[in-house]
Amino acid sequence: ECTSCAAGTFFHKQAEADSNGSCSGNSCNVNEYQIDSTEVCVAACDSSCTEGCSGRATTDCTSCAAGTFFHKQAEADSNGSCSGSSCNENEYQVGSAEVCVVCDSSCTEGCSGSTNADCTSCAAGTFFHKQAEANSNGSCSGTSCSATTEYQVGSTEVCVVCDSSCTEGCS
């Protein structure tokens, strides 16, 4: 067991608090994470992080094994968790990749993208506001439609934006 390594060689240890480890290579191994920008690697990835991590939490995975979905808080995030073979109810799949991203917080019942206008349905009691009746996406807010800019579809909790030529509301 080594207590330090030559410059350019990475120090691999089992836990961050360990003072002993081994010296090899010029990068961390797959199931290790690098401490900040040092040449120190820790072999403490969560067991769900089968393809690498940036820390020891379940949400610190950097990629997942084929067939396992990568769940992230935002598309730009490089870390997430690995589980399952599909996205969860309040996530959307990024293209055809096995990557899922959490919906906007206003989309309580699912979405198709990252914005509040990408909701696919809303929680009971919250109105679904769409640009056109045929659209499958919209936003979730409030307990009624805007009387001057939207009309309510029957007795549903769905509102559709009035045609731009309507100046005092529509039906």
Given a contact cutoff of 8 angstroms between Cβ atoms, the answer to whether 1 and 21 are in contact is yes
Residue 33 token pair: 């994470």
**Residue 37: burial class (beta carbons within 10 Å; 0-12, 13-18, 19+):** exposed
Displacement of CA 163 from its chain's centroid (Å): 35
- The pLDDT tens digits for 79-108 are 999 999 999 989 999 999 999 999 998 898
- The pLDDT tens digits for 19-71 are 999 999 999 988 889 988 899 999 878 888 888 898 889 999 998 988 999 99
Lowest mean pLDDT among 73-77, 115-119, 136-140, 165-169: 165-169
Type of residue numbered 43: A
